[in-house]
Amino acid sequence: MTSSASATMEKKDGPPPVNWQAYWTVRLARALRDEGMQEKEAGWTAVLTEYLEQNPYAPSRIFVPRLESFLESRERGERTEAARCLYFFYDRPTPSEKHRAAAEAIGRRSLERGKGTVKQPAPVENPAQPKYAVSPLLDRLELELKARNYSRRTLENYRAASYHFLKWLAKEPTERDSDTIKQYQLFLKEKKHYSPRTVNLATAAIVFIYNEVLGIPISRSSLPRMKTGRALPKVYSQQDVEKIILGARNIKHRTMLTLAYACGLRISELRYLRPADIDLERNIVWVRRGKGEKDRAVMLDASIKPELEAFLKSGRGKTFLFEGYEPGKPLTTMTISKIYKHSCENAGIAPLGGIHTLRHSFATHLLEHGTDLRYIQELLGHASSKTTEIYTHVSSRIISRIRSLS
């Protein structure tokens, strides 16, 4: 094997790039600063870096026994501090109850061995906890959303946003909380550096839980809605799209990126595709319960059928088209995003954005080839034509036809 081939295999089969690990250490550092715990940043960043180097996976996908093995391998004093770090990490930047509980149990046990007693306090800097049970309230929220037939994505977003707000609030919600909610909006914008769109989503979730779950009247009009602006979508050339797809490691990843582009799919629609949604005889892909809980049919180009047929015969999941290690469960959005980014890296193309950029490219290329805007609206599943019209601003074909008056 040549050295270049060996290097290529090493790049493909090795752990994720260091930049990916750095993303989580930055998230940890930001959470520490938000809590006024800057003195922990240097030591805990080192612990987390070592932990992720030994376990090069998404933090929530690391098996708990690996976390336990990592902590148990350390000396007692170091073990307690590392347990505090991982407890905080799995409590804040990337919440996971099972990982957090494992870190706490090992930290407690380490102190008990050292001091000969079982009555030691938890070996972690526990944040101020609400004086009421949050989980039952979140379960009631989920029930109300399901009763109204809200989408899975909205349910997940509202639950996560409400969890973080209630944890920050740390008291019983009351009808006098309008100013407190405004303070939380500023906290998200100025301390957490969330985008105005994300802040508005969190506000919508908070208003829903007050009005519909708790029965506490909080007027949406009494809370500011942050201006979001509207950036133009970024678009790849058709040649770059082809390179990105060819940069995928295997047939599963290539098929995923191909469908994302050739069918203009959102990442949530891609995740929940099922084998039965692929109609090879009629050259159609069925998108079930897309945004707004609407179904739609998208054309299946003949050029991608051979590889898609091969994937359906050999590599597809049983329940969902694209499944991970756990049968019957779709790949996570984080995994799909990583596949897309790695394909860009392999193709030598700087990502213009997330995998949604392939959807933008699909719409723009259709427009440049003369497809009527109304058909593009149907293919994308847009409720309003105004949403689709944004692609006229980035279409090189349309822009080049405009003659200068100078």
Q: Is 391 a catalytic residue?
A: yes
Q: In the numeric block, which tokens belong to residue 40?
A: 């922990």
342, 359, 360, 365: the active-site residue = 359
N-term to C-term CA, the chain? 61
Q: Is 382 a catalytic residue?
A: yes
Q: What are phi and psi for residue 349, nearest 5 degrees?
A: -120, 130
SS in 3 state form for the chain? CCHHHHHHHHHHHCCCCHHHHHHHHHHHHHHHHHCCCHHHHHHHHHHHHHHHHHCCCCHHHCCHHHHHHHHHCCCHHHHHHHHHHHHHHHHCCCCCHHHHHHHHHHHHHHHHHHHCCCCCCCCCCCCCCCCCCHHHHHHHHHHHHHHCCCCHHHHHHHHHHHHHHHHHHCCCCCCCCHHHHHHHHHHHHHHCCCCHHHHHHHHHHHHHHHHHHCCCCCCHHHCCCCCCCCCCCCCCCHHHHHHHHHCCCCHHHHHHHHHHHHCCCCHHHHHCCCHHHEECCCCEEEECCCHHHCCEEEECCHHHHHHHHHHHHHCCCCCCCCECCCCCCECCHHHHHHHHHHHHHHHCCCCCCCCHHHHHHHHHHHHHCCCCHHHHHHHHCCCCHHHHHHHHHCCHHHHHHCCCCC
What CA–CA distance (Å, rounded) separates 273 from 270?
5
Q: Is 365 a catalytic residue?
A: no
Q: Is 342 a catalytic residue?
A: no
Q: What angle do CA 77, 85, 188 make, to 5 degrees?
A: 155
27, 192, 274, 356: the active-site residue = 356
- Residue position matching structure tokens 């505090």: 84
153, 274, 291, 338: the active-site residue = 291
90, 184, 272, 391: the active-site residue = 391
Say which residues have a Cβ less than 8 Å from residue 81's Cβ, sequence separation at least 6: 43, 47
Q: Is 360 a catalytic residue?
A: no
74, 167, 266, 289: the active-site residue = 266
Of the candidates 1, 7, 2, 3, the one whose C-alpha atom is nearest the C-alpha of residue 346 is: 7
Are the C-beta atoms of residues 143 and 193 closer than 8 Å to each other?
no
Active site residues: 266, 291, 356, 359, 382, 391
